[in-house]
Amino acid sequence: MSHRIVVGYDDSGSAKSALEFAMNLTKTQGGSIVVAHVLEWSPYSFLTPTELEERHMRRREELERANAALLAPLVESLKDSGVAISTALKYGHISETLCEIATQEGADQIVVGRTGSSGLSSRLFGSVAGSLAQSAPVPVTIVP
Amino acid sequence: MNRLSKVAALAAPALMAASAPVLAQSIDQTINDGFASATGWFVSFIFSPFPGTSFPWIVAWLVVAATVFTVYFGLIQFRAFPHSISLVKGDYSDPNDAGEVSHFQALATALSGTVGLGNIAGVAVAVGIGGPGATFWMILAGLMGMASKFTECTLGVKYRNEYADGTVSGGPMYYMTKGFAERGIPAGKFMAVLFSVFCILGALGGGNMFQANQAHAQISNVVGDFPGWITGIVFAVIVFAVIVGGLKSIASVTEKVVPFMGVLYVLTALVILLMNYDMIGWAFGQIFAGAFTGLGVAGGMVGALIQGFKRAAFSNEAGVGSAAIAHAAVRTKEPITEGFVSLLEPFIDTVVICTMTALVIIITGQLVSDPATGMYLLDEGASTIQTVNDNKGVALTSAAFSSAFGWFQYVLAIAVILFAFSTMISWSYYGLKAWTFLFGEGKGKELTFKVIFCIFVVIGASASLGPVIDFSDAAIFAMAVVNIMALYFLMPIVKGEMDSYLSRLKSGEIKKFH
């Protein structure tokens, strides 16, 4: 059976640990990795008329920036690792979108870093790792 | 003792105020007189009645248009209502388009441009002149206006300009030029220019001066009387910081707070209605009876009808063309879907929020009636109904709400300021789009308009309500004259889009994503 792991990735240290963990797992078990980056977005937010007008342009810029600054260098640095790596870049609610990506890619595991922030915001709104643990369609590994 | 201290409390500020503001008041007076005489001819043209009647032709123009669209599209506002709600919920949005402007966002932004003083002060003006019966005509105008909004917003999306850098521009001036050319109708460009001129006036009037004026009225209602130009300058500086200085934080805070204020307003109105639940039946009785008899108000039934229709159009802007500019940025392959979404706007704005205001004013007994006959008593001059403490406009709404909850006048003051501000930001954008359509894009040209816009904030806050409201109405309705004419020419295009979409929806070709 070929394993496929979705790794929730951003520029944090814990995301790097999560990717490392997934790499080691894939090296021993075989399979492939989908590096997924989600840009936080709600279709129910409120924008000014000028923001509406520019939204399409901004979206394109944001996608290009995320790809150029985050995903492309990562894929480049891992191309000699011997592990098959693809990327996914989406807008949406972070944990929900990671679940959607896992379903679409037919992944059998999601790996995310625990941001480690025990701050006020995660207490109020819940962490990505926490909500994934509750709602993911496949097993979730949370890497400290 | 108690009485003495009250007199002292009243006298002290009066004494302090007596010396300084003589000069200030005369600035206000000069601005007011100059403004009234400069705009009078325009106002009297727009509101001139049919010969031999007192019925303004412009009101008939709006009513006829809304009726024509309602019939032509087969009561689309009721047929498509459930589908409109699923569109706003995002049931039909492609997840791969996440990050683009959603239906909800386009609707919310357009609503924050229309929900505002029209709903609070405008309704008070309508009920104050036309009596409770004006509410009936206002609701009817709101329901029919949904079809006008549907038509213009579909066209706004269909004929928008999409530029290479990813930005979009849409609105009546674009469907007038492109749509008319496509159908081989001449004069599209001429109408677009005319519309743009009126849109600039509307942006300066209803979208700016009326807002500044009523915001000042509300502030001085809470803190005591002071010259309007002071409020005007403060507002102008903040508006300038946002639209010229690009101070996005103020605008985005407003955009986020305004919807909550709207919800709070409706909830408070509902609580007041529930507290007086035994009077709701009576209030609706007043509304229906007044709609057809006038209950002795100035102008009788026709007076109630004119006020209801005027204030509804001013509040929800259906047929005016402004919403077509706001809705144009949505990401959709089907322009008609934005039409469906936009028809919720007059419903929320007029049928829900305006009706709440009217009911609260009626139920809390702000209008003075003769206990013997049940007829409303008129002021001297017999043009408006007597109100408790002689409140007008936003002060009337404020008095109605705070008769139930004393603290609500402070909430309302904040709400009015925020509503006024968000409406100004929206209209500065509509005006700017018209301005750049006329004069072309460019930093210098845009700055010129923005500076003019800020100057009018000061004028609006200084002038008295009468001339401001007259000019605001006239400018906004002048937009509707041109826009509705264009809608008549282009409505077959909307019909084609609608029939095609509805049949594909029925056959299952258009699917839900969620």
Domain locations in chain A? 4-143
Residue B286: its pLDDT value, please?
A: 87
pLDDT band of B2, cuts 50, 70, 90 = very low
CA B71 to chain CA centroid, Å, is 24
pLDDT the model gives residue B495:
95
* pLDDT grade for B474, boundaries at 50, 70 and 90: confident
Is residue B169 situated within a structural domain?
Answer: yes
- Among the partner-chain residues A41, A48, A63, the one whose CB lies closest to the CB of B251 is A48
Report pLDDT digits (tens) over B77-86: 999 999 999 9
Contact A44 B329 (CB under 8 A): no
Nearest to A44 among B104, B166, B331 (CB): B104
What are the structure tokens assigned to B87, written together?
Answer: 């569109």
Scanning B197-216 for CB atoms below 8 A from A yields none
Q: Examine the pLDDT at B49 and tell me if it is beyond 50.
A: yes
Q: What is the pLDDT of residue B422?
A: 86
Q: Which chain A residues are within 8 Å of B258, Cβ to Cβ?
A: 46
Indicate yes or no: CB of B101 within 8 angstroms of CB of A100. no
User: Residue B385: is its pLDDT beyond 80?
Assistant: no
Q: Which CATH number fits domain A4-143: 2.60.40.10, 1.10.3720.10, 3.40.50.620, 3.90.230.10?
A: 3.40.50.620
Which stretch of B174-178, B289-293, B374-378, B488-492 has the lowest confidence by average pLDDT? B374-378
Of A50, A59, A100, the CB nearest to B429: A50
A39 touches chain B (CB under 8 A): yes
Preferred mutation among A53, A63, A97 to probe B, highest tally of B CBs within 10 A: A53
pLDDT at B92: 86
Confidence band, pLDDT 50/70/90 cuts, at residue B350: very high
This prediction has a pTM of 0.84
Pick from B95, B102, B425: CB nearest A48: B425
| Lowest-confidence region among A116-120, B312-316, B320-324 | A116-120
Chain mean pLDDT for chain B: 84
Kindly list the residues from chain A whose CB atom is less than 8 angstroms away from the CB atom of residue B256.
Answer: 46
Q: Give the mean pLDDT of B403-424.
A: 86
A64 touches chain B (CB under 8 A): no
Beta-carbon neighbour count of residue A47 at 10 Å? 22
Phi first, then psi, for residue A79 (nearest 5°) are -70, -20
Residue B438 maps to a domain: yes
A49 touches chain B (CB under 8 A): yes
**Does B329 reside within a domain?**
yes
* Token code pair at residue B496: 């084609």
Cβ atoms of B117 and B420 within 8 Å: the answer is yes
Q: So what's the pLDDT on residue B14?
A: 42
Nearest to A48 among B106, B165, B255 (CB): B255
Alpha carbon of B168: minimum distance to chain A alpha carbons (Å): 5
Q: What is the mean pLDDT of residues B453-482?
A: 84
pLDDT at res. B7: 41
**What residues have CB less than 8 Å from B300, skipping those under 6 apart?**
B293, B294
Is B105 within 8 Å of A45 when comparing Cβ atoms? Answer: yes
What pLDDT does residue B18 have?
44
What was the pLDDT predicted at B337? Answer: 93
Contacts (Cβ under 8 Å, ≥6 apart) of A119? none
Taking an 8 Å cut-off on Cβ atoms, the answer to whether B101 and A52 are in contact is yes
**Nearest-Cα residue of chain A relative to residue B259:** A46
How many cross-chain Cβ pairs, A to B, lie less than 8 Å apart?
Answer: 89
B89 to chain A, closest Cα gap in Å:
9
**245-284 of B, contacting A, C-beta below 8 A:** 248, 251-252, 255-256, 258-259
Between B14 and B443, the more confident residue is B443
Per the structure, how many domains does chain B have? 1
Q: Which residue of chain B comes nearest to A43, CA vs CA?
A: B102
Residue A47, chain B, CB below 8 Å: the answer is yes
Which CATH number goes with the domain that contains B365? Answer: 1.20.1740.10
B95/A contact by beta carbon, under 8 A: yes
Q: How far is CA A11 from the centre of its chain?
A: 10
**What's the Cα-to-Cα distance from B159 to each of A115, B106, B180, B494, rounded to whole Å?**
47, 16, 10, 11
CA-based nearest residue in chain B for residue A96: B95
Say how many Å lie between the first and final Cα of chain A, rounded. 27
Which pLDDT score, from 0 to 100, does residue B316 have? 85
In a domain, B233, yes or no: yes
Q: Which chain A residues contact residue B248 at CB under 8 A?
A: 48
Q: Is the pLDDT of residue B48 over 50?
A: yes
Distance (Å, whole) CA B369 – CA B383: 15
Give burial (CB, 10 Å; 0-12/13-18/19+) of B13: exposed
What pLDDT shows up at residue B419?
A: 86
The bridge status of strand B168-169 relative to strand B161-162 is antiparallel
The amino acid present at A93, given as its one-letter code, is H
Give per-residue pLDDT as tens, B124-175: 888 888 888 899 999 999 999 999 999 999 999 999 988 888 888 899 999 9
Q: Is residue A4 within 8 Å of A55, Cβ to Cβ?
A: no
CA distance B99 to chain A (A): 5
DSSP B409: H
Cα angle B481, B354, B204; round to 5:
45
- List pLDDT tens digits, range B240-262: 888 887 777 777 777 777 888 88
Query: Residue B342 and residue B148: Cα distance in Å, rounded?
Result: 10
Select from A46, A56, A60 the Cβ nearest to the Cβ of B259: A46
- In this prediction, residues B9-32 reach a mean pLDDT of 54
Please check whether residue A54 touches B, CB under 8 A.
Answer: yes
CA–CA min distance B112, chain A (Å)? 9
Kindly determine whether residue A49 and residue B90, on different chains, have CB atoms separated by under 8 Å: no
B272 vs B472, more confident: B272
A65 touches chain B (CB under 8 A): no
Interchain CB contact of B89 with A (< 8 Å): no
Q: Which two tokens stand for residue B302?
A: 């026709």
Report DSSP letters for A47-101, one per residue.
--HHHHHHHHHHHHHHHHHHIIIIIHHHHHHTTTSSSEEEEEEEEE-HHHHHHHH
- Lowest mean pLDDT, pick from B95-99, B198-202, B444-448: B95-99
Listed as ranges, residues in chain A with pLDDT below 70 are 1-2, 116-126
Nearest CA in chain B to A97: B95
By the 8 A CB rule, do B374 and B245 touch?
A: no
Look at residue B5 and tell me whether its pLDDT is greater than 60.
no
CA B105 to chain A, closest CA, distance in angstroms equals 6
B122 neighbors B44 (Cβ within 8 angstroms): no
* CA dist., res. B160 & res. A6, Å (int): 40
A59: contact with B, CB 8 A cutoff: yes
Which pLDDT does position B442 carry in this prediction? 82
Q: Is A48 left (phi over 0), alpha (psi -120 to 50) or beta?
A: beta
- Paired tokens of B254: 């407003």
Beta bridge partners of A142: A112
In a domain, B23, yes or no: no
Q: Which are the contacts of A77, defined by CB distance < 8 A and separation ≥ 6?
A: none
Cβ(A107)–Cβ(A132) under 8 Å?
no
| pLDDT exceeds 60 at position B216 | yes
Domain that holds residue B245: 55-507
B249 vs A contacts (CB less than 8 Å): none
Residue B20, domain member (yes or no): no
Give, as one character, the DSSP assignment of residue B121. I
Mean pLDDT, residues B212-219 taken together: 85
For residues B304-325, one letter each, b for 16 or more C-beta atoms within 10 angstroms of the residue's C-beta and e for the rest, the string is: bbbbbbbbbbbbbbbbbbbbbb
Any A CB within 8 A of B477 CB: no
Nearest residue to B35 (alpha-carbon basis) of B356, B332, B466: B466
Strand boundaries in B384-492, DSSP class E: none
Contact between B167 and A53 using a beta-carbon 8 Å cutoff: yes
Residue B429 in domain: yes
User: What is the value of ipTM here, to two decimals?
Assistant: 0.82
Q: How many other CB atoms are found less than 10 A from the CB of residue A87?
A: 18
List the structure tokens of B460.
Answer: 């609006």
Check CB contact under 8 Å for B255 and A44. no
Radius of gyration of chain B (CA): 23
Other Cβ atoms less than 10 A from the Cβ of B351: the count is 21
Q: Report how far residue B177's alpha carbon sits from residue A4's, in angstroms, rounded to the nearest whole number.
A: 54
Please name the residue of chain B whose CA is at the shortest distance from the CA of residue A60: B166
